[in-house]
Amino acid sequence: MAAAEGTPGVFVTGTSTEVGKTVVAAVIARTLAAEGKRVAVFKPAVTGLEEEGETDHALLRRASGSNQSDEEIAPYRYGPPASPHLAAALAAEEIDPERLHQAAREAAADADAIVCEGVGGLLVPLSPTYLVRDLAVDLGYPLIVVASPSLGTINHTLLTLESARGAGLEVTAVVLNPWPDEPSEIEPDNRETIARLGEVRVETVPQLNLSDPSSWPPLQI
Ligand SMILES: Nc1ncnc2c1ncn2[C@@H]1O[C@H](COP(=O)(O)OP(=O)(O)OP(=O)(O)O)[C@@H](O)[C@H]1O
Ligand SMILES: [Mg+2]
């Protein structure tokens, strides 16, 4: 966990959408909160609010014990399950990077640590000219890369590491999620191969009962 402007933090990205960024960010936030830290959470934009289920900002708030409002956690929130640049365009607006920087600074100001979640993967556009990767660079926090433990993950994960490092981002760890209770020969080899070829620490998170954060194993970053 590194400090950009005082408050230490991490930026949780992933190889794609639906790989478990929110779950892993929630586990990191919960781990910090259980150590007695005041934890802020942040997500630049949430899309798909019209779909069923707990929102990313609600799970992040619950896991961290934060009392931030929806607006303070996620300044831009949209109904359609689309890339943020498109969801914003459908609402006749454009995501403003400066507003994101300001909101992240304000979230971090009152906290001992901040856990940020990206949107989709690193090269997803937040606006037509501003990618998630640009935001990660501007915020200055090291990355956690969430990936599947299954077949296909070596390529997706190594591509993401290359893209991150190409932009000068530091990668703290890859987290394979959800790690199966009974792995085949594939998952342990994926873990070892990503660690070796990606020259990176690799952690795992098992299938969790999301309704009970106190049952989650800690993940120290
Ligand atoms: N370790 C886990 N234990 C239980 N459920 C999980 C776990 N990881 C992921 N899930 C479930 O898989 C789905 C996708 O996870 P999650 O929402 O964290 O992905 P994401 O990468 O944040 O997606 P998005 O790109 O939409 O933000 C969710 O329904 C979540 O509840
Ligand atoms: Mg999410």
Predicted confidence (pLDDT) per residue in 165-185, tens digit: 999 999 999 999 999 999 999
| Spatial separation of the C-alpha atoms in residues 42 and 28, rounded to whole Å | 13
**Closest to 47 in 3D by CA, of 140, 129, 124:** 124
pLDDT at 6: 85
What is the DSSP code (8-state) at residue 214? G
205 exposure class (CB count in 10 Å sphere: 0-12, 13-18, 19+): buried
Mean per-residue pLDDT, 185-209:
98
Under the banding of pLDDT at 50, 70 and 90, the label for residue 2 is low
| Spatial separation of the C-alpha atoms in residues 184 and 17, rounded to whole Å | 24
Looking at this protein, which amino acid is placed at residue 167? Answer: A
Under the banding of pLDDT at 50, 70 and 90, the label for residue 3 is low
Counting ligands in written order, which one lies closest to the CA of residue 84? 1
Under the banding of pLDDT at 50, 70 and 90, the label for residue 214 is very high
pLDDT at 5: 54
Instruction: Check if 21 is active-site.
Output: no
Long-range residue pairs from 16-19, CB within 8 A, at least 24 positions apart, any chain: 16/120, 16/121, 16/156, 17/120, 17/121, 19/146, 19/147, 19/148, 19/177
Q: Say if residue 78's pLDDT is above 60.
A: yes
Ligand 2 center from residue 120 Cα (angstroms): 8
- Flag whether the pTM goes above 0.85: yes
| Spatial separation of the C-alpha atoms in residues 99 and 76, rounded to whole Å | 10
Looking from the CA of residue 178, the nearest atom of ligand 1 is 1
